[in-house]
Structure 1
Amino acid sequence: MEELKREFHGLKRGQRQLCSRVIATALSKRHADGSLPIGDYNIELEDQGGHQVKFGTETDQSAAMMGLMLHTKGKSLIELEKYSDAVEVLSMAEESFLLCDPKILEFVDNIPIMEIDIVWCYFLLRDLKCLSDAGVRLEKARKGLERAHGKDLSRVRLLQAGQCPELALYVRLELLEGVVAYHTGQNNKALNALKSAHAKLSQLQIPDETLSLVMGMGFQEEDAKRALRLNNQDIASSVDFLIEERAKRAQKRKDDLQRQKEILEQKTYGVTPLKKGVDMQMLDRLVSIGYARDLAAESLRRNENDFQKALDALTSPESNSMIQGYIESRKRKRQEQQVGITVDELVSMGFERGRATFALAAGGKREDIIQRLLSVPEANHGIAATTFIGNGSGATSSSNNVAARESVSNEIGGWAEEEDSEMKDETTDGEEERDSEIEEEIADEIAKVDALSAYDINLDREIEAINEYLGMLDASQDSV
């Protein structure tokens, strides 16, 4: 495994980006169609209000999720100043978004932001060969932002209750429009774009005193800057915003822990024939009716999460008995794996099957189970069995209980063991083929993203570039 990882990290840039796309594709599919989450994370799409977004089809869901993951990866490469790599990954993100129904993404700004990020990489690479492509991308970004934000930002103002989170994004957009215009000989257009960017930039400059006041109330610098930008540098509104955001983050952590707990429980039930996880909402409904949780989960698993079919199976005495027998069989196998000895092994040692089964069910280490069986005389096995199962029935009824369970297990034959083996294969085979390290890297990057992080832009380079190009325009006018 270590050798494979070394080979992966030694791949050429283009090859590695292809691997990243394959991993992102696998992650997006895994979390788009109800499949059981693998790993300690679960990827879901949320809007700016923190609400989970559901798309019309699995294809749209998977494509959008892959696009967002690759976009996030591209942004992290920009931060690392790996601009060529970032362009490749962002181009892959664009391809993924194009697989979605255009109507779904019409009123979101993810794609326009991605177009701006690509052109920003061109600018940082100082790649003049991409000027024509840059112009087309910026035009698409401008139109996309107008659809998403409304004319004169009317729609986004309404959605954001008067806040202006996207102002820094427009600074970058207008700077890039000015740069493209300058290099294509459109000096007047360049000047107008750069002046507009400069004016917006002035609105985003935060006085040190104001920043210090907010930080003095116990907030981090990055959070304080975001809040002041969003609230037009009004201190009271900024503090209210930060308190609200802190509460939202606390609730988010609580929700994430609950979701992780659900995922861990979901994994214990295995997967359906189509390799989906058990639907936890359906499970809660069946439990609320009065069915045992593991029994209801197994019925849903067998019936591909069809609530009515699962309920019909539970209400049928024959099907219910078969499911219970299967669950008992699985529990016994887990116990055997934990203690390192099976009922058949104990029987081969000369112990009666019923006593061996109960002794194993009582738990303990291999030595404890054998010692327990040896310490109870054969003639008193009924009493011993009563002790193991914890009820007041006599020896005869205890033996009958064992026989009944064994009979059910035999009735369903070898398919129970076969299905259990298949479930194990389904839930473990995929893990062997995964690159957990890279998947976790992508998942960690996504976890850092929130609804407003796209607008958290450090404007130091923009300030330098605006001043540089305004100076170049002034020099060109003086020379005329």
Structure 2
Amino acid sequence: MASASEEDITKVKTHLRNNNIKLWLPPYSDEQGRPQHESITNIVSEISEKTSLPQDLVSSCVTNLHQHSVQRLRKMQQNIVSLRIKCSQTQGSNTESVEVSLAVSGVQLKTIIAEKLGIEDDLKLICGGRIIENDASLQSQRIRNNNIILCLVVKASDRNQSKEVEKALNEVKRARQGAELLAKAGVDDDGSAGGYDIEIEDQNGQALEIPAEEKRSLTIALGLHEKGRAILKRKEYELALLLLLEADKEFETCRSEILSMVDNYAVLCLDIVWCYVCSKNIAALPDAKLRLDSCEKAFKKSYGDSLQRLLAIKGSSGSEITMFVRLYVLQAILHYHDENYQECSLLLDKAQGFAKMVAVDQDKVSDLMGLGLSAREARRALRQNNMNVTLASQWAFKQREENQETKKREKERRRKRKMQKEFGSCANGDPVNIESYHHLVDTMGFDPGLAVEALKHANNAMSDAIEMISNDPDTLRLSREENQSRNKPKQTAAARLKAMGFDEATAKACLHHFSGAMEEAAEYLANATGEIPAEWVEAYRGNLDQEGSSKYTEDELVMMREVAQDVTQKHDEYLDVMLDEEKGLIQQYRAMLLSIAQH
């Protein structure tokens, strides 16, 4: 009998799905999952007739599908999941798989993975950017089927450095938490609360309108990427790789057309491959080739084959050339290990030529620094202006002015957002119009409190708001007092519960559940020894958009600010590289090519 093709199997599956036939349930299986042959035979005949496939072929397909469905059901009932294992030392396209019960602890999973991979050293396991705790079950740590487990191997000889490893892993964990909080907060007030509305721009510098869920993923990806780059600068390649791969996972949830509009994903691929090369991870070369191909396509789409599009957009291709230097160096290294020495040599020539184009004269840098520019500003300005000091100085100071204007606009946007948070929403749910508020207060001289209440009652209709202030100010005052008295006890109660020894975030979530009732919240926390249901916390978090920064603990605020500063204050910093490492690799591989030619 000929084996079933993919097309044949698809036909059988489609028939089962369209007719809502579940092989793991009666009448096709008994309670123990054993096949009921009469029902199976009937369905085989029916499928064979409908699809014109031979009965013996259909019977084989249905038998295999029945076995797989019953096995899958048993695993689900037993809480057994399949996990994909990637070891940071051998990162590449291939992964190992293990099947475990969610009831096992983190330390038991370590033992299973160590035996699977044949590793005697200690392991640190990371899933979704979070360190897997030793004593807690996998289920309590939200491990799911098909999750990727990243393994960091701690050599026996390095055990004395385990505290440093733990510290670094906690940095990874905090970066992930900060990025997630940052994305969930969504918008910024005055910066003190840590909620930032990250603006995503295309290659033209124009802000992109992106759906909320994709913007969330991009915000997390950008935060993790920048933290990974910070670790990469310290030459801690394995730890950097963990963060960069987590960023990669977030980018992959976005549509390809969104990724094609920005450079960030291409730069991330470049950074991942740089980690592979610097950590001498030869096993990762297949994955590296795919990433560099993707990176090159993205760069060419953004800047053109000869950077002509970049010249048209920005007037110069200076700083961006540094990315191409690294790209060509990495491609040359891959070709060398594929024994394609001629292509390797051509790419090294190309990389060296581009590196010379952006080589910076230190005397010119000193001249510009004498005018008040930083070394970084001076290097970028020279590269953007073909090393012309006069043009570079003009460009740099113009950039400063533009950056200051951007900061002013951002500060004003944050100010308005903070005011809208403080004012609350209108009756129809819209935020208070700040321009209308200023007109009522600054131009017409109305009381600020009355102006806010009037706009809220009138849904921002100016004429109705003016009429209410003029004709019924007492009602507005009463409404304002009620709002103030309703909000004030929450803040006071939270402080009192914290003083009683309860966790700040838990206390606030409990108060939110009891609508600010201090006595009820305190009684519940006392009886529950400070623990509350997870859904209370989620409901509390879901109310963030309508509440102020008091929703965050101090540690959460710090984590968000750390990530936000990396994302918002390092614009284009990835372009300011000295290329010393790239030049060193060019020399190294030229020497290796020469050695091969001589033999």
TM-score under structure 2 length normalisation: 0.56
SS in 1 for 2:577: coil
What aligned pairs does 1:386-401 form with structure 2 within 5 A after superposition?
Answer: none
Contact 2:172 2:243 in 1 (8 A): yes
CA distance, structure 1, for counterparts of residue 450 and residue 419 of structure 2: 14
> Across the two proteins, how many residue pairs are aligned to each other?
388
- How far did 1:85 drift? 1.6
Tell me what 1:462 maps to.
582
1:432 corresponding residue in structure 2: 553
Larger relative contact order (C-alpha < 8 A, sep ≥ 6)?
1
| Counterpart-to-counterpart distance in 2, 1:212 and 1:182 | 39
Q: Specify which of 12, 17, 21 is matched with residue 176 of structure 2.
A: 21
The alpha carbon displacement at 1:217 in A equals 2.7
State the partner residue of 1:215: 369
Q: Is 1:191 matched up with 2:345?
A: yes
Deviation (angstroms), 1:258: 3.4
- 1:325 paired with 2:481, answer no
Q: Distance in 2 between matches of 1:36 and 1:239?
A: 33
Q: Supply the AA of the counterpart residue of 1:136.
A: L
For the structure 1 residues 83 and 314, does the alpha-carbon distance in structure 2 shift closer, same or farther, using more than 3 Å as the test? farther
- The answer (yes or no) to whether the contact 2:425–2:431 under 8 Å persists in 1 is no
2:574 maps to a residue whose letter is A
Equivalence for 1:244: 398
Given the superposition, is the C-alpha separation of residues 272 and 196 from structure 1 closer, same or farther in structure 2, using an over 3 Å criterion? farther
Q: Hey, what's the Cα distance between the residues in 1 that align with 2:373 and 2:477? A: 55
- Between the aligned partners of 2:460 and 2:573, the Cα distance in structure 1 is 40
Deviation at 1:70, TM superposition (A): 1.5
One-letter amino acid of the counterpart of residue 24, structure 1: A
Distance 1:202 1:256, change over 3 A: same
1:160-193 CA-partner distances (Å, limit 9, x unpaired)? 1234321011000000000111011111111111
After TM superposition, give the deviation of residue 38 of structure 1 in Å. 6.3
Deviation of residue 124 (structure 1)? 1.3
| Alpha-carbon spacing, 1:50–1:430, altered in 2? closer, same or farther (3 Å) | farther
Work out the CA distance in 2 between the residues paired with 1:462 and 1:470.
Answer: 12
The alignment status of 1:442 with 2:597, answered yes or no, reads no
Contact 1:54 1:61 in 2 (8 A): no
Render the CA deviation track for 1:301-339: whole Å, top value 9, x for unaligned. 689xx656x986886799986543121334578999999
Change in Cα spacing, 1:287 to 1:105, as seen in structure 2 (3 Å) is same
1:30 maps to: 185
| Larger strand proportion of the pair | 2
Equivalence map 1:266-277=2 (5 Å): 266-270=420-424
CA distance in 1, matches of 2:233, 2:425: 39
Cα deviation for residue 296 of structure 1 reads: 5.1
* 1:143, distance to aligned residue in structure 2 (A): 0.7
The residue that corresponds to 1:131 in the other structure is: 285
Following superposition, the deviation at residue 440 of structure 1 comes to 2.2
CA contact (8 A) 2:184 2:216 kept: yes
AA aligned opposite 1:438: M
Change (3 A) 1:50 1:35: farther
Q: CA deviation at 1:287?
A: 4.8
Residue in structure 2 matched with residue 474 of structure 1 by the alignment? 594
Structure 1 contact 63–99 (Cα < 8 Å) conserved: yes
| CA drift at 1:196 | 0.3
User: Where does 1:101-120 land on structure 2 (aligned, <5 Å)?
Assistant: 101-120=255-274
Q: What is the percent sequence identity of the aligned residues?
A: 22
The structural deviation recorded for 1:17 is 2.9
Local SS of the residue matching 2:259: coil
Please tell me whether the aligned partners of residues 164 and 230 of structure 1 are also in contact (alpha carbons under 8 angstroms): yes
User: 1:265 & 1:256 partners in 2: Cα distance?
Assistant: 14
Instruction: Report the residue type matching 2:318 in the other structure.
Output: C
The gaps in structure 1 that reach 5 residues or longer are 1-6, 340-416
Q: CA deviation at 1:55?
A: 2.1
**Aligned partner letter, 1:17:** V
| Matched-pair contact (CA < 8 Å) for 1:271–1:426 | no
- Partner AA of 1:442 in structure 2: V
The residue aligned with 2:330 is 176
Specify whether residues 40 and 292 from structure 1 end up closer, same or farther in structure 2 by C-alpha distance, changes over 3 A only. farther
State the alpha-carbon separation in 2 of the partners of residues 337 and 139 from structure 1. Answer: 55
Residue of structure 2 equivalent to 1:376: none
Contact 1:211 1:221 in 2 (8 A): yes
CA distance in 2, matches of 1:434, 1:17: 15
8 Å CA contact retained: 2:329, 2:348? yes
| Mapping of residues 258-407 of structure 1, within 5 Å | 258-270=412-424, 279=431, 282-285=433-436, 287-288=438-439, 293-295=448-450, 297-298=452-453, 307=460, 322-331=475-484
Point out the structure with the larger helix share.
1
- Structure 2 gaps, min length 5: 1-132, 134-162, 493-513, 519-539
Q: Letter of the aligned partner of 1:453 in structure 2? A: E
Q: What value does the CA root-mean-square deviation take over the aligned residues?
A: 4.1
**2: distance between equivalents of 1:18 and 1:302?**
45
**TM-score normalised to structure 1 length:** 0.69
Q: Does 1:82 align with 2:203?
A: no
**Which residue in 2 is equivalent to 1:64?**
218
Contact in 2 for aligned 1:157/1:164 (Cα 8 Å): no
Counterparts of 1:419 and 1:316, CA distance in 2: 30
Report how far residue 419 of structure 1 moved.
Answer: 8.6
